Amino acid sequence: MDSGGGEIRILPILDEGLADGSLRGGRLNVIAGGKGRVYTQGMKEQRSGMNMELPEADFRHLRVMTDDTGIFQHAVYGTPDRECGYTTDDNARALAAMALWQEATGKDDEEMTGLMQRYLAFVRHAFNEKNGRFRNFMSYERKWLEESGSEDAHGRAMWALGTTVKRSKNEQVVNAAEELFGRTMTTTRTFKSPRGWAFAVLGIESCLERFGENDEARNIGKELAGRLLEQFKRNGSEDWPWCEEVVTYCNAALPQALVAAGRGLDKREMTEQGLRTLEWLLEVQTGEGGRLSIIGNEGWMRRGGRRAQFDQQPVEAMGLVEACAEACRATGKRRWAEEARRCWEWYMGRNDLGQAVYDASTGGCRDGIGPESLNPNCGGESMVGWLIALGTMKELGKEA
């Protein structure tokens, strides 16, 4: 198939019930806090692999979603929705995606570098020197809609900058990202958000991997990772190894940060907490046949309550792929690479609807899974989440 961005060849899906969509009637019943157990009803266990090749990167829809400002936040079907403007969140993810693909290909590709510079310019402009915080929401008219975004958005921008420093093959891009990163760290010491801490820690660990030890970065990263670990210890229990009373969004970044920081700081307790929590997240999000069934945003999963099955967001699958890859690097155990692949297969149809979320005909990615059908829109977050998940799988294959 000619995708316009390189040949895509996908081998036939071998799991019965996935190819014909017959799994879509299945439902997952989970009692939160039930000693980490997943209770399933209905179909027989499917074979774990779908035996499909990884497609090549296809940037067609990414080009459609990007103008000279950055990547649009939302789309109506496949057309950018200008009324919703842009976010630093999505431009940060897009920046990280391009850096990852530069590393995956080993080339300072002209198109990838051009896109990366556009997204980096957005992130740089988002940083508010007056308060040391990133703004998040921008209108189509290039007007900022706030003086500072959430702590999560700030941490996510740091994660993207750190990823760029670590992975980009373009020296000018690396230097610009590193310079901005150095101005964003101090304010994180005032943060209260576990996700803000986690994303900042991931960015710091990436920078340190590229350039070696830096006292300020190491001290801030150690402080934030320590807070995250303490919150897990304070709130968690054997049957609920989680740092909050509800499991919501971008969950996998939290254990991923603990694993990365534990490796960087040589703190076994931190690494083990991260691995234990990640294993639990995978367990409570495993549906019938062993497929990934992401916690839905229509109610999330509360301690002692039932988990929501829908709507399932692509960015959550991306986060799990990244966290499993981190666990694989930290432990050297192949099982984590297998878990990463299982999570990636969610995009390709090994999910509760038995339908592919990735659209090979356009290079886009649907915005989620509902109870009866896919979300027909292909927005910026979903697009770059798919590219990050795919690029992470490519890197895992090289490391194997």
Q: Residue 254 falls within a domain, yes or no?
A: yes
Q: Which residues pair with 202 in a beta bridge?
A: none
Domain boundary among 179, 201, 235: 235
**Is the same domain home to 364 and 250?**
yes
pLDDT score of 179: 97
What percentage of the chain carries pLDDT values higher than 70? 87
> Is 285 found in the same domain as 176?
no
Helices within the chain (DSSP H only): 60-64, 88-105, 110-126, 151-167, 171-182, 194-211, 215-235, 253-265, 268-284, 314-331, 334-344, 380-399
What's the token pair of residue 34?
């039930």
Reply yes or no on whether the pLDDT at 184 is more than 70: yes
What pLDDT is stored for residue 240 in this prediction?
98
pLDDT of residue 14: 27
Whether residues 299 and 349 share a domain: the answer is yes
How deeply is 57 buried, as exposed, middle or buried, from its count of CB atoms within 10 A (0-12, 13-18, 19+)? buried
Which residue in 377, 351, 376, 370 sits closest to 310, CA to CA? 370
Average pLDDT over residues 176-192: 97
Q: For residues 203 and 95, what is the distance between their CA atoms, to the nearest angstrom?
A: 13
Domain membership of residue 205 (yes or no) is yes
CATH number of the domain where residue 144 is located: 1.50.10.10
Q: Please give the residue that has the higher pLDDT: either 222 or 36.
A: 222
- For 360, other C-beta atoms within 10 Å of its C-beta total 14
Give the angle 100-105-107 at the CA atoms, nearest 5°: 100
pLDDT at 213: 80
Exposed/middle/buried for 332, CB within 10 Å: 0-12, 13-18, 19+? exposed
* 281 and 375, same domain (yes or no): yes
Confidence of residue 399 (pLDDT cuts 50, 70, 90): confident
398 band by pLDDT with thresholds 50, 70 and 90: confident
pLDDT value, residue 34: 39
Higher pLDDT, 52 or 17: 52
Residue where a domain terminates, one of 180, 214, 235: 235
User: Do both 89 and 59 map to the same domain?
Assistant: no
Q: Considering 209, 235, 261, which residue would you say is the last residue of a domain?
A: 235
**Would you state the torsion angle of the CA atoms of residues 356, 256, 156, 96, taken in this order, to the nearest 10 degrees?**
-60
Whether 133 maps to a domain, the answer reads: yes
The verdict on residue 70 lying in a domain is: no
Q: Is 300 left (phi over 0), alpha (psi -120 to 50) or beta?
A: left
Q: Tens digit of pLDDT for each residue in 138-162?
A: 999 999 999 999 999 999 999 999 9
Domain shared by 56 and 136, yes or no: no
Q: What is the residue range of 131's domain?
A: 83-235
* Short-list 88, 85, 87, 63, CA closest to 160: 88
- The encoded tokens of residue 331 equal 């432990």
Phi, psi torsion values for 30, nearest 5 degrees: -130, 135
Instruction: Let me know if residue 88 belongs to a domain.
Output: yes
Kindly state the average pLDDT of the residues 105-121: 94
Same domain, 269 and 357: yes
Is the pLDDT assigned to residue 354 strictly greater than 70?
yes
Q: What is the CA radius of gyration of the chain?
A: 20
75 falls within a domain: no
- Is the pLDDT at 57 greater than 60? The verdict is yes
Using the predicted structure, report yes or no on whether residue 9 has a pLDDT greater than 50.
Answer: no
Residue 227 lies in a domain: yes
Evaluate whether residue 78 is within a structural domain. no
Same domain, 155 and 39: no
For the segment 110-117, the average pLDDT, to the nearest whole number, is 96
Average confidence (pLDDT) over 276-285:
98
Position 400 scores a pLDDT of 65
The dihedral of CA 101, 105, 108, 114: what is its sign?
A: negative
Q: Report the alpha-carbon angle 89-198-334, nearest 5.
A: 105
Q: Quick one: pLDDT at residue 46?
A: 35
Residues 220-270 have pLDDT tens digits of: 999 999 999 999 999 999 999 999 999 999 999 999 999 999 999 999 999
Q: Per residue in 292-324, pLDDT tens? A: 999 999 999 999 999 999 999 999 999 999 999
Q: Buried b / exposed e across 77-94, counting CB within 10 Å, b at 16+?
A: ebebbeebbbbbbbbbbb
State whether 328 and 223 are in the same domain.
no
How much of the chain exceeds pLDDT 90, in percent?
84
How many structural domains comprise the chain?
2
Q: What is the DSSP string of 80-106?
A: E-GGG-EEHHHHHHHHHHHHHHHHHHT
Q: Is 295 helix (H, G, I), strand (E, B) or coil?
A: coil
Q: Is the pLDDT of residue 13 over 70?
A: no
Query: How does the average pLDDT of the chain come out, rounded?
Result: 89
Specify burial of residue 54 (Cβ count, 10 A radius: 0-12, 13-18, 19+).
middle
Residues 267 and 396 in one domain: yes
Q: Determine the distance from the C-alpha atom of residue 351 to the mean position of all C-alpha atoms in its chain, rounded to a whole number.
A: 17
* Token pair 């940083």: residue: 127
* Domain co-membership, 12 together with 146: no
Query: Could you tell me if 230 and 244 lie in one domain?
Result: no
Q: What is the rounded (10 degree) CA torsion for 382, 385, 387, 392? A: -160
